[in-house]
């Protein structure tokens, strides 16, 4: 593979950041705060209802200026404009990248190949709304005339993670009389557990797949069809109990789903950026068309903030640049996402696909091997649970882990003083990580000499605090778009394609070859490596 022409590492801003890093790498946040009493109110962006506090990062004004210069020298502004106007920036798949069109208000237009894509976007949204209302009002009947009460989304990756996350995030806005389940894994347990207490008569399956060929989804969809037919015993039942969300009309029809009950989207919507397309159908049924549209408005608000705000005040741009600062200069490998909001329990899992399938790339747009690190590993759990689990390592371990804290000023279930305790904890964690506790302070507390080092907190652990008013559909949309554009910013600087995913292919192809070897009646001739051959043989013996 050709080596990168070091476009990035040759930039003046990159070199200047290297020198800045040498100066600042040992500076402690304690000193940075002591030398600037206004740091905590100065290094903040207060925009669109988001209070974005980046003061607890290991940066000085010079670092921030240089990071912004890095974005400029990387052509970020032009790259944003090119995405928003629909150019085919996903070059390896020759596709436009227009998830932003999915939340563009009616009346505006985005032209792709002479077609205004905003028009079909709203046509599909309207069709989804009619269908969602029918189900919510009990007007969609199953084959035997029973009202549909259970909705099962079958999909994987982007056709699952967004809908599950948003369903959990906005649960308090959902129609509680309906049951929602999500089946993604090809592991038969997933389907079995999701349906074990359901009846086919009042269950609707939404088969969500951009391609309608994904092995896991189609295996689960066929199992669902057999499950329905086993109890309803008539092929005609499929039309009443299955709808599809896809770009592939031919395959939907081949499966036996009436294409009148297909909700379309387009090849310019990447799987992991698709939750604002018809892939969100289960969400629209769950929390209603109005809340779904409010969520889209939140996305659009953040899209516009990203597109129009100068980089120094641009939340996703700064988020992305700070990530680059730690990954490429401090050699940090991971980024923790810590929502202090129980409803966001699936948010880190959702972000994992968005961030890692996007930016887990080793070659530049031109196909040359990068000579710098790319995509960070995203992980996390809701607070305060994480505090009693892995926070020990963040506080006192040997690794540097930048943290994103996410919190809301208002609870959706106010009970006693739970919320004050919750918020006290998130503020305390950020404070403890940044400032730590010195050996002197530990001694002054009366710790015996042999425990002083154990009880010392070095501090200087960076974090961002994202504080919003309340977890509403609008706020959720803004939060997700913030991360989408953070990913875009990083990809623009790293000069990688955030919108393809060739890395998932090889395993898929090999699995397809192995399936018949596991199922063959006769002992197959195995031509894998000795480990894979032995595993296949052992499985055949055990199964």
* Active site positions, annotated: 357, 388, 508
Restricting to residues 464-503, name those near ligand F6P by CB under 6 A. Answer: 501
Restricting to residues 334-363, name those near ligand F6P by CB under 6 A. Answer: 357
CA distance 372 to 369: 9
177 vs 507 by CB, closer to ligand F6P? 507
Least Å distance, CB 219 to ligand F6P, is 11
74 vs 217 by CB, closer to ligand F6P? 217
CA distance 39 to 43: 6
63 vs 159 by CB, closer to ligand F6P? 159
Pick from 66, 156, 166, 200: which binds ligand F6P (CB under 6 A)? 156
Determine the interface stretch with ligand F6P among 71-79, 152-160, 166-174, 486-494 (rule: CB under 6 A).
152-160
Determine the interface stretch with ligand F6P among 45-53, 210-218, 403-411, 470-478 (rule: CB under 6 A).
210-218
Determine the interface stretch with ligand F6P among 157-165, 327-335, 374-382, 399-407 (rule: CB under 6 A).
157-165
User: What is the SS3 assignment for 443-502?
Assistant: HHCCCCHHHHHHHCECCCCCEEEEEECCCCHHHHHHHHHHHHHHHHHHHHHHCCCCCCCH
Least Å distance, CB 277 to ligand F6P, is 10
Restricting to residues 92-151, name those near ligand F6P by CB under 6 A. Answer: none
Restricting to residues 5-34, name those near ligand F6P by CB under 6 A. Answer: none
Pick from 91, 211, 411, 438: which binds ligand F6P (CB under 6 A)? 211
342 vs 501 by CB, closer to ligand F6P? 501
Least Å distance, CB 100 to ligand F6P, is 18
Is the Cβ–Cβ distance between 481 and 76 less than 8 Å? no
Residue 409 in contact with ligand F6P, rule: CB under 6 A: no
**Residue recorded with tokens 């476009």:** 7
Q: How would you list the strands of the sheet with 403-408, edge to edge? A: 44-47, 50-53, 463-468, 403-408, 334-340, 377-379
User: What is the SS3 assignment for 155-171?
Assistant: CCHHHCHHHHHHHHHCH
**Nearest residue to the partner ligand F6P, using Cβ:** 271
CA-nearest of 497, 475, 476, 473 to 487 is: 497
Determine the interface stretch with ligand F6P among 15-23, 205-213, 300-308, 461-469 (rule: CB under 6 A).
205-213
Pick from 13, 150, 184, 214: which binds ligand F6P (CB under 6 A)? 214
**Residue recorded with tokens 């003061």:** 55
Residue 163 in contact with ligand F6P, rule: CB under 6 A: no
Residue 158 in contact with ligand F6P, rule: CB under 6 A: yes
Least Å distance, CB 90 to ligand F6P, is 12
130 vs 509 by CB, closer to ligand F6P? 509
CA distance 216 to 20: 48
281 vs 407 by CB, closer to ligand F6P? 281
CA distance 204 to 131: 12
- Take residue 407 and report the two structure tokens written for it: 């919190």
Q: Which residues contact 284 (CB under 8 A, 6 or more apart)?
A: 128, 129, 132, 292
DSSP per residue, 90-125: BTTTTB---GGGGGPPTT---EETTEETHHHHHHHH
The DSSP symbol for 454 reads H
Pick from 210, 240, 300, 461: which binds ligand F6P (CB under 6 A)? 210
Residue 272 in contact with ligand F6P, rule: CB under 6 A: yes
**Residue recorded with tokens 């200069």:** 329
Least Å distance, CB 511 to ligand F6P, is 13
Residue 504 in contact with ligand F6P, rule: CB under 6 A: yes
58 vs 272 by CB, closer to ligand F6P? 272
Using only C-alpha atoms, the chain has a radius of gyration, in whole angstroms, of 25
**Residue recorded with tokens 């966001």:** 344
Is the Cβ–Cβ distance between 401 and 335 less than 8 Å? yes
- Take residue 38 and report the two structure tokens written for it: 């206004």
Judged by CB under 6 A, the number of residues near ligand F6P is: 14
Least Å distance, CB 279 to ligand F6P, is 8
Is the Cβ–Cβ distance between 97 and 246 less than 8 Å? no
CA-nearest of 229, 217, 230, 210 to 186 is: 217
- Please tell me the total number of residues recorded for the chain in this structure: 543
Pick from 55, 63, 159, 276: which binds ligand F6P (CB under 6 A)? 159
- Take residue 305 and report the two structure tokens written for it: 């903030």
CA-nearest of 62, 75, 47 to 16 is: 62
Strand-pair partners of 44? 53
63 vs 217 by CB, closer to ligand F6P? 217
Pick from 271, 323, 339, 380: which binds ligand F6P (CB under 6 A)? 271
Determine the interface stretch with ligand F6P among 182-190, 209-217, 299-307, 317-325 (rule: CB under 6 A).
209-217
Strand bridging mode 203-208 / 242-246: parallel
291 vs 501 by CB, closer to ligand F6P? 501
Determine the interface stretch with ligand F6P among 107-115, 138-146, 208-216, 300-308 (rule: CB under 6 A).
208-216
Restricting to residues 39-78, name those near ligand F6P by CB under 6 A. Answer: none
Q: In degrees, to the nearest 5, what angle opens at C-alpha 350 toward C-alphas 345 and 351?
A: 105
Strand bridging mode 203-208 / 179-183: unpaired
510 vs 534 by CB, closer to ligand F6P? 510
Determine the interface stretch with ligand F6P among 21-29, 154-162, 163-171, 392-400 (rule: CB under 6 A).
154-162
Given the rule CB under 6 A, which residues bind ligand F6P?
156-159, 209-211, 214, 217, 271-272, 357, 501, 504
């Amino acid at each position: 593979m050709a080596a990168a022409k070091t476009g990035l590492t040759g930039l003046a801003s990159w070199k200047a950041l290297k020198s800045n890093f040498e100066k600042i790498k040992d500076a402690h946040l304690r000193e940075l705060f002591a030398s600037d009493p206004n740091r905590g109110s100065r290094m903040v962006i207060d925009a669109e209802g988001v209070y974005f506090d980046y003061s607890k990062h290991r940066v000085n004004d010079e670092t921030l200026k240089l990071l912004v210069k890095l974005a400029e020298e990387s052509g970020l502004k032009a790259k944003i404009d090119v995405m928003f106007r629909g150019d085919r920036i996903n070059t390896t798949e020759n596709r436009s990248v227009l998830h932003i069109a999915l939340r563009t208000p009616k009346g505006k237009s985005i032209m792709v190949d002479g077609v205004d894509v905003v028009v079909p976007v709203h046509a599909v949204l309207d069709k989804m709304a009619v269908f969602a209302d029918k189900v919510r009002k009990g007007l969609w009947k199953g084959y035997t005339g029973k009202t549909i009460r259970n909705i099962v989304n079958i999909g994987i990756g982007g056709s699952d993670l967004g809908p599950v996350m948003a369903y959990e995030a906005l649960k308090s806005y959902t129609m509680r009389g309906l049951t929602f389940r999500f089946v993604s894994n090809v592991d038969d347990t997933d389907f079995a557990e999701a349906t074990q207490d359901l009846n086919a008569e009042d269950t609707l399956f939404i088969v969500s797949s951009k391609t309608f060929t994904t092995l896991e989804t189609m295996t689960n969809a066929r199992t669902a069809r057999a499950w329905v037919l086993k109890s309803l015993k008539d092929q005609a039942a499929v039309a009443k109990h299955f709808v599809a969300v896809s770009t592939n009309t031919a395959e939907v029809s081949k499966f036996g789903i009436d294409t009148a009950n297909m909700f379309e989207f387009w090849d310019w919507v990447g799987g992991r950026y698709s939750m604002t397309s018809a892939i969100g159908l289960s969400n629209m049924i769950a929390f209603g068309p109005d809340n779904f549209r409010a969520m889209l408005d939140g996305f659009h608000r953040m899209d516009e903030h990203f597109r129009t705000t100068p980089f120094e005040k641009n939340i996703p741009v700064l988020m992305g640049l700070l990530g680059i600062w730690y990954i490429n200069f401090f050699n940090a490998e991971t980024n923790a996402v810590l929502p202090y909001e129980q409803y966001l329990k699936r948010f880190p899992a959702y972000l994992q696909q968005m961030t890692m399938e996007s930016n887990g790339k080793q070659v530049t747009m031109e196909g040359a091997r990068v000579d710098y690190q790319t995509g960070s590993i995203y992980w996390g759990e809701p607070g305060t649970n994480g505090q009693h689990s892995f926070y020990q390592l963040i506080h006192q371990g040997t690794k540097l882990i930048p943290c994103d804290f996410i919190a809301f000023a208002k609870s959706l279930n106010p009970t006693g003083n739970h919320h004050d305790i919750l918020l006290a904890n998130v503020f305390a964690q950020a404070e403890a990580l940044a400032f730590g506790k010195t050996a002197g302070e530990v001694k002054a507390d009366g710790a015996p000499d042999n425990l002083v080092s154990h009880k010392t907190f070095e501090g200087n652990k960076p974090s961002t605090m994202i504080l919003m008013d309340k977890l509403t559909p609008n706020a959720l949309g803004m939060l997700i778009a913030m991360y989408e554009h953070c990913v875009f910013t990083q990809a623009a600087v790293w000069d990688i394609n955030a919108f393809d995913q060739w890395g998932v292919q090889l395993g898929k192809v090999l699995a397809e070859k192995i399936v018949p070897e596991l199922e063959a009646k006769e002992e197959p001739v195995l031509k894998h490596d000795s480990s894979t051959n032995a595993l296949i043989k052992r499985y055949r013996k055990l199964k």
